[in-house]
């Protein structure tokens, strides 16, 4: 590769005499330190792989990958250091060259190619930004202010974006584009949007960190599955019941733990989520254990018509009722509209409740618990309400999930699900409804689009969470305007929330 | 009675492991007030490094068990602490002045990342290992048999605890660490390099977790990339149980949880042991929110 030219110290400073001299020994030392850390990190785990052999476990050395990662870390760190010292142009050229090499030449592994292209691309981007703005890096505060402005604009534009987005979502199944796969992805996205909006009530509005939201999702799903299995109840009877049961479990859990402080609360909700999952696994006489429940009945068209070609006794066929050609897609389209409606219910509820005393009490509690308690807000009741309502929505989503899948097992309700939903809320910007949508598209949509990279999906997911948090700790579209202002918002606005 | 003592020793060794991990949680929580969610993964990495070191030594022809154990311990502690350090440096340090949720999300992301990183590199299948330290010590005329590994776990934990307590209470490093725990800004003004102390806290926590990982490998003889999650949650439970921020509390909490788990599996059945642990956590938090040895915290306006 062309990279070693970096290490030749003399020519470059002479080329740009106007700038202060580049601190070559310092940069090299810094890059070497980073490379040494990379060496320590990669030697045991990347360089030595365990291999299953018939005779037992054995080990295989992969020195090339260790060397590759060390070289990449060294060059990357050096490049960043040099950009900061005003050598953006040569670094840009070299980084682009590296990316091109990664694209064009054959590489021993795909990972190496990916790292080369991505790393070269990022450094080239960084260098390009430096060249255009003349500065290497915005300060954190400056970047925050910029992003806040963008977020505020997006929030204000929501008035116009939201109807368009909803119209698009409504029209989607009617367009010729809509095939089974697209609708399935749409249903998946909408399910997570609904869960995100539901959790947003607890995390975004009431400011309680819930790490076990998936428990209520599970309660809803199992409520429907078990009620249908043991009592033969239909989806439309079970949907409200599932919500009620989930809300009850929310109250049951919330009552003892809501007086705990932030992190303790988080860990208890996590524990509760695990307890529910363990119960589902172990109480196999009732819940089917790890095998789950299969053959969960599909929903009918509001109890009037069925989506099968030959409906059971006493039920009309959907396609006959509306005089349509039979198509298995009808059910999917119906499911799509169902979850869209459920999600919009959550959204409308959240938007309205913010204007009610209850919602204002939540926002007050989030901003300052002690102050609001001293102003006479009943902390426990308010939090309990938030918890129960969010749990109810989780329960709805859960019973939808059960009827869509037709099969559920405890596998679907692991901690990682809770983490994903929480990540959606926090990455989007806590309390921001549009943020949830954007974050869902990022967190769920992107990995769906790159299904081929299945193995690397969760890896990239974890890394993405870290990167977004580093880049924008308050979430992508965090922007807290008070919902209600005195004098109808005529007083000069202060971005009060932005200070947090 | 024999059965009781058997379970007691099982519980103590298990508790020692939870305690070692819990110390990492409690120190980090004490000093920067965040749940280091990736700590369970650090423990998992420790177990894997130990396994890989052992296999590598086998490939090099080193089979003398004491030497193998010492090298495993050293390598595991060294490499795992680098991981602990790197996690802090990459994912937490830039977020030190951010809203409270940001580091937690970053930590969850890091935990997911490390889990999948390990799964990709070393494979998803669980890794069995033949016993390195076979043999039992029989007590009470053969009624109770204790494997050497479990005894070694308890002993090593005791030694580490004594050393660690000395480190925290006697050395200047420990003093600086306690100062940072009280007031980072003031400690910084008085010449303590706060960043370095926080890094060292992570390094120490990771080293102790690595010991726990190695011990689990030796006791159970099988590990996989997913062991970090449950162990992490339970150890955090142990830390909360003992009182977050208190080192003896973390150890005590670990032992209590280990004993509960052992006795519950021994007398009730192993399926519900996790439920017992979490229920205990909820009960403790309700009736004694500061944990067994924790100081009451005063909320300030």
Query: Which DSSP string corresponds to B205-253?
Result: HHHHHHHHHHHHHHHH-EE-TTHHHHHHHHHHHHHHHH-TT-HHHHHHH
CB count within 10 Å of CB B183 equals 11
A210-237 mean pLDDT? 86
Query: Nearest CA to CA, how far is A13 from chain B (Å)?
Result: 31
Q: Which residue reads 């307590």 in tokens?
A: B165
Instruction: With residue A302 as reference, give the H or E element that holds it.
Output: none
Instruction: Pick the residue of B22, B98, B294 with the most A CBs within 10 A to test the interface with A by mutation.
Output: B98
Query: Nearest CA to CA, how far is A101 from chain B (Å)?
Result: 25
Output the pLDDT for position A1. Answer: 37
**Residue numbers in B near A41 (CB within 8 A):** 79, 82-83, 86
Tell me if A40 and B79 make a contact (CB, 8 A cut-off).
yes
Do residues A465 and B112 lie in contact, with contact meaning Cβ atoms separated by under 8 Å? yes
Residue A91 backbone phi and psi in degrees, to 5? -65, -40
The SS3 of residue A333 is helix
pLDDT at A499 > cutoff 80: no
The β-bridge partners of B145 are B138
Tell me if A423 and B108 make a contact (CB, 8 A cut-off).
yes
A188-205 mean pLDDT? 89
pLDDT at A241 > cutoff 50: yes
The residue among B103 and A292 whose pLDDT is bigger is B103
Residue B140 backbone phi and psi in degrees, to 5? 50, 55
Do residues B104 and B38 lie in contact, with contact meaning Cβ atoms separated by under 8 Å? no
- Please, where are the H alpha helices in A258-308? 262-282, 284-287
Query: Nearest CA to CA, how far is A46 from chain B (Å)?
Result: 6
- The C-alpha angle with vertex A176 and arms to A172 and A177, in degrees rounded to 5, equals 65
CA distance A305 to A293: 25
CA distance A344 to A129: 40
Q: Which residue reads 């809501």 in tokens?
A: A258
The torsion defined by the Cα of B204, B209, B214 and B217, in degrees rounded to 10, comes to: -170
pLDDT at A12 > cutoff 50: no
Helices vs strands, H then E, count in chain B: 11, 4
The beta-carbon neighbor of A469 closest among B106, B272, B274 is: B106
Options 1.10.3470, 3.30.40, 3.40.50, 3.90.320; CATH for B2-287 is 1.10.3470
Tell me if A282 and B271 make a contact (CB, 8 A cut-off).
yes
Under DSSP, the state recorded for B123 is -
A94-100 mean pLDDT? 77
Query: Nearest CA to CA, how far is A253 from chain B (Å)?
Result: 10
Closest C-alpha among A495, A476, A470 to residue A485: A495
**Residue numbers in A near B289 (CB within 8 A):** 259-261, 264
Tell me if A40 and B78 make a contact (CB, 8 A cut-off).
yes
CA distance A62 to A49: 7
Give the lowest-confidence range in A6-15, A116-125, A235-244. Answer: A6-15
**Residue numbers in A near B49 (CB within 8 A):** 44-45
Q: Which residue reads 């660490």 in tokens?
A: B177
User: What ipTM score was computed for the predicted complex, to two decimals?
Assistant: 0.86
CA distance A186 to A180: 10
Domain boundaries, chain A: 3-133, 154-499
Tell me if A462 and B75 make a contact (CB, 8 A cut-off).
no
A275-282 mean pLDDT? 86
CA distance B251 to A267: 19
Query: Nearest CA to CA, how far is A440 from chain B (Å)?
Result: 15
Do residues B262 and B7 lie in contact, with contact meaning Cβ atoms separated by under 8 Å? yes
Read off the pLDDT band of A453 (50, 70, 90). Answer: low
Closest C-alpha among A398, A389, A417 to residue A226: A398
Output the pLDDT for position B22. Answer: 93
Q: Calculate the alpha carbon distances from B220 to B126, B127, B133, B232, B257 in Å.
A: 12, 11, 11, 17, 18
Output the pLDDT for position A11. Answer: 42
Which residues are within 8 A (CB) of A79 and not within 5 positions of it... i.e. 6 or more apart? A6, A91, A94, A95, A123, A127
Q: What is the pLDDT of residues A213-223, one digit of tens each?
A: 999 999 999 88
Q: What is the pLDDT of residues B245-285, one digit of tens each?
A: 788 889 999 999 999 999 888 888 777 888 888 888 778 87
Instruction: Pick the residue of B49, B52, B244 with the most A CBs within 10 A to test the interface with A by mutation.
Output: B52
Instruction: Pick the residue of B50, B80, B108, B129 with the most A CBs within 10 A to test the interface with A by mutation.
Output: B108
Q: Return the beta strands (E) in A341-500 as ranges.
A: 407-408
Which residues are within 8 A (CB) of B128 and not within 5 positions of it... i.e. 6 or more apart? A56, A57, B221, B222
Tell me if A465 and B106 make a contact (CB, 8 A cut-off).
yes
Give the lowest-confidence range in A244-253, A366-375, B152-161, B206-215. Answer: A366-375
The residue among B139 and A241 whose pLDDT is bigger is A241
CB count within 10 Å of CB A310 equals 7
**Residue numbers in A near B74 (CB within 8 A):** none
Do residues B164 and B208 lie in contact, with contact meaning Cβ atoms separated by under 8 Å? yes
| Rg over CA atoms, chain A | 27
Tell me if A267 and B29 make a contact (CB, 8 A cut-off).
no
The residue among A421 and A453 whose pLDDT is bigger is A421
Residue of A nearest to B72 (CA): A44
Which residues are within 8 A (CB) of A280 and not within 5 positions of it... i.e. 6 or more apart? A218, A222, A287, A289, A410, A413
**Residue numbers in A near B93 (CB within 8 A):** none
Which residues are within 8 A (CB) of B245 and not within 5 positions of it... i.e. 6 or more apart? B26, B29, B30, B181, B294, B295
Under DSSP, the state recorded for B128 is E
Do residues A300 and A307 lie in contact, with contact meaning Cβ atoms separated by under 8 Å? yes
The beta-carbon neighbor of B113 closest among A59, A426, A466 is: A466
Under DSSP, the state recorded for A111 is H
**Residue numbers in A near B285 (CB within 8 A):** 257, 260, 264, 268
Query: Nearest CA to CA, how far is B140 from chain A (Å)?
Result: 36
**Residue numbers in B near A110 (CB within 8 A):** none
Q: What is the pLDDT of residues A397-428, one digit of tens each?
A: 999 998 888 888 888 888 888 888 888 888 88
CA distance B276 to B259: 11
The beta-carbon neighbor of B56 closest among A48, A259, A463 is: A48
The beta-carbon neighbor of A459 closest among B58, B78, B117 is: B117
Q: Kindly report the pTM of this predicted structure.
A: 0.85
Tell me if A459 and B110 make a contact (CB, 8 A cut-off).
no
CA distance B290 to B283: 12
Query: Nearest CA to CA, how far is B300 from chain A (Å)?
Result: 9
Tell me if A423 and B109 make a contact (CB, 8 A cut-off).
yes
**Residue numbers in B near A365 (CB within 8 A):** none
CA distance A117 to A111: 10
CA distance B6 to B12: 10
Q: Is A23 exposed, middle or buried (0-12, 13-18, 19+ CB in 10 A)?
A: middle
The β-bridge partners of B146 are B137
**Residue numbers in A near B79 (CB within 8 A):** 40-41, 43-45
Instruction: Pick the residue of A139, A465, A472 with the most B CBs within 10 A to test the interface with B by mutation.
Output: A465
A12-29 mean pLDDT? 64
Closest C-alpha among A212, A223, A215, A222 to residue A289: A222
Residue of A nearest to B53 (CA): A44
Tell me if A209 and B118 make a contact (CB, 8 A cut-off).
no
- Average pLDDT of chain A, as a whole number: 78
Instruction: Pick the residue of A48, A114, A430 with the most B CBs within 10 A to test the interface with B by mutation.
Output: A48
The beta-carbon neighbor of A275 closest among B100, B275, B285 is: B275
Query: Nearest CA to CA, how far is B183 from chain A (Å)?
Result: 20
The torsion defined by the Cα of A99, A105, A111 and A112, in degrees rounded to 10, comes to: -70
Output the pLDDT for position A5. Answer: 41
Residue A50 backbone phi and psi in degrees, to 5? -80, 140
pLDDT at A486 > cutoff 70: no
Q: What is the pLDDT of residues B115-159, one digit of tens each?
A: 998 988 888 888 888 877 777 777 767 777 788 888 888 999 999
Tell me if A461 and B112 make a contact (CB, 8 A cut-off).
yes
CB count within 10 Å of CB A71 equals 15
The β-bridge partners of B231 are none
Structure tokens at A380: 């426990």
- Between chain A and chain B, how many beta carbons pairs sit less than 8 Å apart? 181
Strand A316-317 versus strand A305-306 pairing type: parallel
DSSP-assigned states of every residue in A38-71: HHHHHHHHTSEEEEEETTEEEEEE-HHHHHHHHH
Structure tokens at A415: 């901690």
Q: Show the low-confidence residues of chain B (pLDDT under 50).
A: none
Closest C-alpha among A412, A401, A442 to residue A424: A442
Output the pLDDT for position B44. Answer: 94
Options 2.60.120, 1.20.120, 1.10.3470, 1.10.3680; CATH for A154-499 is 1.10.3470
Q: Return the beta strands (E) in A297-422 as ranges.
A: 305-306, 316-317, 407-408
Residue of B nearest to A414 (CA): B229
Tell me if B52 and A48 make a contact (CB, 8 A cut-off).
yes
């Amino acid at each position: 590769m062309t990279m070693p030219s970096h290490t030749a110290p003399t020519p470059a400073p002479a080329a740009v005499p106007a700038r202060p001299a580049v601190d070559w020994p310092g940069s090299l030392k810094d890059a070497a330190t980073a490379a040494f850390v990379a060496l320590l990190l990669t030697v045991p785990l990347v360089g030595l792989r365990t291999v299953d052999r018939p005779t037992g476990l054995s080990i295989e050395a992969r020195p090339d990958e260790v060397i590759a990662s060390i070289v990449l870390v060294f060059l990357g760190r050096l490049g960043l250091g040099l950009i900061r010292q005003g050598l953006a142009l040569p670094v840009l050229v070299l980084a682009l060259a590296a990316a091109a090499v990664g694209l064009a030449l054959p590489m021993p592994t795909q990972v190496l190619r990916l790292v080369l292209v991505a790393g070269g691309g990022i450094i080239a981007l960084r260098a390009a930004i430096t060249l255009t703005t003349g500065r290497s890096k915005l300060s954190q505060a400056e970047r925050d202010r910029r992003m806040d402005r963008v977020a505020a604009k997006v929030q204000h534009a929501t008035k116009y974006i939201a109807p368009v987005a909803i119209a698009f979502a409504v029209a989607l199944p009617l367009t010729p584009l809509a095939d089974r796969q697209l609708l399935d992805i749409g249903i998946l996205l909408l399910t997570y949007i609904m869960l995100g909006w539901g959790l947003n009530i607890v995390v975004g509005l009431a400011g309680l960190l819930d790490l076990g939201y998936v428990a209520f999702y599970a309660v809803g799903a199992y409520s429907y599955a078990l009620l249908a299995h043991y009592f033969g109840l239909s989806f439309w009877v079970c949907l409200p019941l599932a919500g009620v049961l989930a809300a009850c479990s929310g109250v049951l859990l919330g009552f003892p733990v809501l007086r705990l402080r932030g992190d303790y609360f988080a860990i208890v909700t996590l524990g509760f989520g695990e307890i529910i999952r363990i119960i589902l696994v172990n109480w196999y006489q009732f819940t089917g254990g790890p095998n789950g429940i299969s053959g969960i009945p599909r929903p009918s068209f509001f109890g009037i018509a069925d989506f099968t070609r030959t409906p059971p006794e006493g039920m009309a066929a959907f396609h006959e009722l509306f005089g349509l050609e039979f198509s298995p897609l009808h059910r999917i389209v119906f499911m799509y509209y169902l979850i869209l409606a459920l999600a919009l219910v959550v959204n409308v509820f959240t938007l309205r409740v913010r204007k009610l005393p209850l919602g204002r009490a939540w926002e007050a509690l989030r901003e300052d618990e002690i102050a609001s308690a001293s102003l006479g807000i009943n902390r426990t009741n308010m939090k309990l309400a938030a918890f129960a309502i969010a749990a109810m929505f989780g329960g709805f989503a859960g019973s939808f999930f059960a009827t869509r899948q037709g099969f559920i097992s405890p596998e679907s309700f692991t901690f990682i699900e809770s983490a994903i939903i929480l990540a959606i809320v926090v990455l989007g910007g806590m309390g921001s409804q549009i943020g949830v949508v954007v974050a869902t598209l990022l967190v769920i949509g992107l990995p769906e689009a790159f299904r081929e990279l299945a193995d690397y999906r969760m890896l990239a997911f974890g890394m993405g969470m870290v990167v977004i948090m580093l880049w924008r700790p308050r979430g992508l579209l965090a922007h807290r305007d008070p919902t209600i202002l005195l004098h109808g918002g005529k007083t000069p606005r202060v971005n009060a929330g932005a200070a947090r | 009675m024999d059965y009781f003592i058997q379970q007691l020793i099982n519980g103590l060794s298990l508790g020692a492991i939870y305690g070692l991990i819990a110390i990492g949680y409690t120190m980090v929580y004490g000093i920067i007030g965040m749940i280091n969610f990736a700590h369970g993964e650090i423990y998992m990495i420790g177990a894997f490094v130990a396994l890989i070191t052992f296999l590598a030594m086998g490939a090099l022809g080193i089979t003398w068990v004491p030497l193998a154990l010492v090298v495993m311990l050293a390598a595991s502690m060294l490499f795992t602490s680098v991981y602990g350090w790197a996690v802090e440096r990459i994912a937490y340090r830039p977020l030190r002045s951010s809203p409270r949720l940001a580091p937690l999300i970053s930590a969850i992301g890091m935990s997911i990342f490390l889990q999948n990183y390990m799964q990709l590199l070393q494979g998803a299948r669980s890794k069995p290992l033949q016993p390195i330290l076979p043999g039992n010590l029989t007590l009470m005329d053969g009624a109770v048999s204790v494997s050497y590994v479990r005894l070694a776990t308890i002993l090593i934990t005791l030694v580490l605890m004594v050393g660690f307590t000395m480190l925290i209470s006697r050395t200047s490093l420990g003093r600086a660490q306690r100062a940072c725990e009280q007031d980072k800004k003031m400690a910084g003004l008085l010449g303590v390099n706060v960043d370095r102390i926080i890094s060292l806290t992570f390094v120490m926590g990771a080293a102790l977790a690595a010991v726990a990982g190695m011990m689990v490998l030796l006791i159970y003889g099988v590990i996989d990339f997913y062991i970090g999650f449950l162990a992490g949650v339970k150890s955090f439970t142990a830390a909360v149980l003992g009182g977050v921020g208190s080192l003896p509390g973390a150890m005590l909490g670990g032992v209590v949880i280990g004993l509960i788990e052992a006795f519950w599996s021994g007398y009730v059945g192993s399926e519900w042991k996790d439920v017992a642990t979490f229920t205990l956590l909820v009960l403790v938090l309700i009736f004694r929110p500061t944990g067994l040895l924790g100081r009451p915290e005063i909320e300030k306006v």
